[in-house]
Amino acid sequence: MGAQKQLTLKLKSVSYEGKTIGREFTFEITVGSVTKRIRRDVAHGTTAAMSKSDSIILTETIQSGITNIPVKIRVTENDPISDDTAETSGLVQFNYDQASIQSSSLSISVKENSLIPLLNPPVTAELTFNFEVQVSEMGIRYLPEQGGQGFVDVIVTSTGETIALPGYLKSNYIKIANNRDYFIPYEGKWKDQELSITRKPDGESYLTEGKVLGAARIVVNPTTARLWYGAVGSQVSPVVVEIDPQKPLPDGVYNLSVPDEPHRDFGAKYLDKTPYAMVWYPIPADINQDGIEDDRFLHCGNVSAGCITVRDFSYWTKLYKYLYNRRLKDGFVGVVTIDSQYKG
């Protein structure tokens, strides 16, 4: 299989010239098995822009070498006595290797349907459909959270299961099919598994090229039960945390992973205090003396069982937003330094 790219075809506007035959139009734009039906008033002698929801006709994955899209257009001017209709077909041309937006137009003549041709000779309107074509690389994308709690619902391709994926995971955007975007996360619990999400109501993708900031820096003093975050010299004031004195993390530097899944059992009860209460950040487990992995997390709440538990819920919301699009490397938002002597 050759290289693949994403093609988006939009109807940006319709120009109405020639003779006037009315202004209440229905446009049916067909590409393959996809038909977009648009009702739009267009005044004679004007160019009418399409709304954002109407403009996207098609989004699909295409192979290298494709240079045009066969399009069929049916126009109906909605008349109370007798509709005026016309059809045409043509090719919307584009350059596969051009990343900038490309323009292409197709024109159609619509002859008035006169009931008494001798007394009322029919006239012909000229409509021009102005298309835009965007050819984009697939590749790396990010999926922002939806719903305001730090997660987005997606479907696992292999099982059909709906899961809650943490927002802003780095992913490989692989294809578009049946109005869904398919991608494979590079990081997190669902790493290397094919997932998909439906497209927005206006036809746009939720996946974005995004922006990733540098590694997060967090320092925790387990003796004073305080946490600082941010770059040295501009750290946020100490945040109150809970540290289990029976199971503290030893002094040292630890990687902080991207969130794994919604922690409903222990986090949902705090949703009235912060919308991100179910977002927990794993701290890669150690092996204890019994040979069992000890799970550690950075999260909010009132209890610690070896975790770093942020008790100030307003700061948890701020800390979540700080960590959201930061990366040390794939799979890790940054580092946590445990320092029993730290004073800020």
Q: Please tell us whether the domain made up of 4-136 is placed in CATH 2.60.260.20.
A: no
CB 56 within 8 A of CB 22: no
The identity of residue 151, as a single letter, is: F
What's the CA gap between 127 and 102, in Å, rounded? 20
Residue whose C-alpha is closest to residue 127's, from 148, 147, 105 = 105
SS3 134: strand
Per DSSP, 118 falls in state: T
Q: What is the mean pLDDT of each run of 10 residues along the chain (344 residues)?
A: 79 95 94 92 95 86 88 91 88 91 94 69 92 90 93 96 96 89 94 94 88 95 94 83 88 94 94 97 70 76 91 94 96 95 88
Residue whose C-alpha is closest to residue 253's, from 222, 227, 220, 278 = 220
* pLDDT given at position 285: 65
CB 318 within 8 A of CB 327: no
* pLDDT given at position 292: 46
* pLDDT given at position 79: 82
In sequence order, what E strands does 178-268 have? 180-185, 195-198, 216-221, 226-229, 239-243, 252-257
What's the CA gap between 76 and 69, in Å, rounded? 22
The reply to whether 216-338 shares the fold of 4-136 is: no
In sequence order, what E strands does 2-101 have? 4-18, 24-31, 34-41, 47-49, 56-63, 68-77, 84-93
Choose the CATH number for 216-338 among 1.10.3720.10, 2.40.440.10, 3.40.50.2300, 3.40.190.10: 2.40.440.10
* pLDDT given at position 1: 45
Where along the chain do its domains lie?
A: 4-136, 139-198, 216-338
CB count in 10 Å sphere of residue 268: 13
Residue whose C-alpha is closest to residue 306's, from 289, 282, 341 = 282
* pLDDT given at position 2: 52
* pLDDT given at position 3: 65
Residue whose C-alpha is closest to residue 141's, from 196, 210, 187, 212 = 210
pTM over 0.85: no
